[in-house]
Amino acid sequence: MDLIRTPDQNKERKRLNKENIFKDFEIDKSLLSLGKGKKYFLYTYGCQENESDSEKIRGMLSLLSFKETTIIEEADLILMNTCAIRKNAEDKVFGELGRLKQLKREKPEIITALCGCMSQEESVVDKIMKKYQNVDLVFGTHNIASLPNLLNTVMTSHDRVIDVLSYEGDITEKIPVERQNKIKAWIPIMYGCDEFCTYCIVPYTRGKERSRLPENILNEVQSLIKDGYKEVTLLGQNVNAYGKDFTDRDYDFADLLEDLSHMNIERVRFTTSNPKDLSDRQIEVLSKGGNLMPYLHLPVQSGSSKVLKKMNRGYTREDYLDRVEKIRKAIPDISLTTDIIVGFPFETEEDFQETLSLVQECGFEGAFTFIFSKREGTPASKFVDESITDEIAHERLYRLNNVVNEGYKKGNERFLGKNVKVLIEGYSKKENDILMGYTEHNKLVNVKGDKKYIGQIVNCLITKAKTWSLDGEISKEQYS
């Protein structure tokens, strides 16, 4: 008999402020050979949090003896780890699911699974149940650690399993992780989000803001150091709120950065920051430098205080500019990037002009720019403003991108003729004998060089600045 537990976005809305629930991943030993001789294909859409979840999915599937394939026709199991942040991300997934119907007709024994943020949406699961009989398994962001058991049910009973929980969420430690990159690692430091920006679906798909214990994070970094990792990126939807939910200790994001700054990891980055929780103390710790990189992604979303209020961002234009001034005073050469939404309901041309002027004033060296996308169940989906047509929204995005691209270029040009430290990650995708890596300021650099440099931090002289990347050469003088 099919197992059906569908999401309930109303339940996700509630924040009961209960104590965090901590669990350890467990697996029944009888499942360890479940995937013997079988292959899986994994799609990952969306943000770094999804990338990180996919590393856990890979870890669990390896434990079950599945092998990964990059050829979809070879797969016995196809998983789609999805993103719900904008409608076009969802359309892509439905398009792909439609194409997979044919594959299922040819090979009915294939198992198709959908997980990630889309699974937590009522309308999506409803559509899957009615129109996509080719999907055998749906599980959500809260029960990713149940994947072995859910797969076992599907594989042994051949029933359809839709198991999506809607609650505040827990913290499950010790899920096996199979990392794609052997030099840089994602480390989730918290899950969920309590900010409820009016446009955003995340608080309804990922539960309440809950922080991992610092000792677990620091131990994970320690073991990555042992494995030769050079860089960690701390992940959370609002990393600056890390630790606010602790009831047994006084420990926040500044403390975590401080502790990490004393560890033997070469580079520490984090994303995403929320201006409203970026404290003076966090800026002060960051300004000490060392392994804390001079780069900050600080989403502003809009330059207009009126629009920011409608977005429920919790800060004004002036507050944001004040944060930026403090950061620049403390770390003058920092590279700042941001996220911006255009065409938000009630955004007038004057509001948009304020966004353009803020971008110039802040000197952003990059931005992810988006057209507002209505997300069912969020407050902004009910804001009605017919004055912003598709054409106006696209035209604003175009004008914004022109200003943002100037910032990218200027941000790269400031390194022309300078020596910078580049963590070499591998060969450039475009050219075989060209190595690529990132500077401390998170600039992409291409250099000619030997593969012995892969995984090393190398001193490079920047010889050319383009809009999206820098060209350089490996300097004769190297750091010890």
Binding partner of residue 163 among ligand SAM, ligand SF4, none, CB cut-off 5 to 8 Å per kind: none
Contact, 268 vs 234, CB < 8 A?
Answer: yes
Residues 6+ apart with CB under 8 A from 234: 187, 188, 189, 217, 256, 260, 268, 269, 270, 271
DSSP per residue, 137-149: EEE-STTGGGHHH
- Cβ neighbours for 268, distance < 8 A, ≥ 6 positions apart: 231, 232, 233, 234, 257, 260, 261, 291, 292, 293
C-alpha to C-alpha distances, 279 to 237, 240, 242, nearest whole angstrom: 16, 8, 12
Does 253 help bind ligand SAM (rule: CB under 6 A)?
A: no
CB of 374 to ligand SF4, least distance (A): 15
What tokens were used for 294?
């001079």
- Binding of ligand SAM by 141 (CB under 6 A): no
Least distance in Å: CB of 117 to ligand SF4? 11
Query: In 3D, which of 184, 180, 183, 206 has the Cα closest to residue 193?
Result: 206
Per-residue mark of binding to ligand SF4, 186-205 (x: CB under 6 A): -------x-xxx--x-xx--
Nearer to ligand SAM, 3 or 371 (CB): 371
Name which of 231 and 252 has its Cβ closer to ligand SF4: 252
Nearer to ligand SF4, 48 or 62 (CB): 48
Residue 197 C-beta: closest distance to ligand SF4, Å: 3
**Binding-residue total with ligand SF4 (CB under 6 A):** 10
Per rule CB under 6 A, is residue 273 in the interface with ligand SF4?
A: no
Are 80 and 113 in contact by the 8 Å Cβ rule? The answer is yes
Q: Which of 58, 184, 317, 375 binds ligand SAM (CB under 6 A)?
A: 375
Residue 198 contact, options ligand SAM, ligand SF4, none, Cβ 5-8 Å cut-off depending on partner type? none
Which of 178, 161, 149 minimizes the C-alpha distance to 112? 161
Q: Does residue 154 bind ligand SF4 (CB under 6 A)? A: no
Residue 300 within binding range of ligand SAM, rule CB under 6 A: no
Using CB under 6 A as the binding criterion, the count of chain residues that bind ligand SAM stands at 18
Instruction: Report the residue from 42, 85, 235, 278 that binds ligand SAM according to the rule CB under 6 A.
Output: 85
CA–CA dist 283, 77 (Å, integer): 46
Site for ligand SAM in 323-342 (CB under 6 A): 339, 341
Backbone angles phi, psi at 290, to 5 degrees: 65, -125
DSSP per residue, 283-301:
HHHHTT-TTB-SEEE---B
* Token pair listed for 237: 């939807």
Interface with ligand SAM in residues 342-371 (CB under 6 A): 370
Q: Which one, 197 or 362, has the nearer CB to ligand SF4?
A: 197
Type of residue found at 324: V
Q: Binding to ligand SAM by residue 441, rule CB under 6 A?
A: no
Tell which one of 141, 205, 274, 302 touches ligand SAM (CB under 6 A): 274
Place of tokens 């009831």: 247
Report what 86 binds from ligand SAM, ligand SF4, none; CB cut-off 5-8 Å by kind: ligand SAM
Residue among 193 and 308 whose Cβ is closer to ligand SF4: 193
| Residue 186 is a binding residue for ligand SAM (CB under 6 A) | no
In the complex, the smallest distance separating the C-beta of residue 237 from ligand SF4, rounded to whole angstroms, is: 4
Q: Reduce the DSSP state of residue 252 to 3 states and report it.
A: coil
> Do residues 80 and 115 touch, judged by C-beta distance below 8 A?
yes
Q: Which residues bind ligand SAM (CB under 6 A)?
A: 47, 85-86, 199-200, 202, 237-238, 272, 274, 299, 301, 339, 341, 370, 372-373, 375
Interface positions with ligand SF4 (CB under 6 A): 193, 195-197, 200, 202-203, 237-238, 274
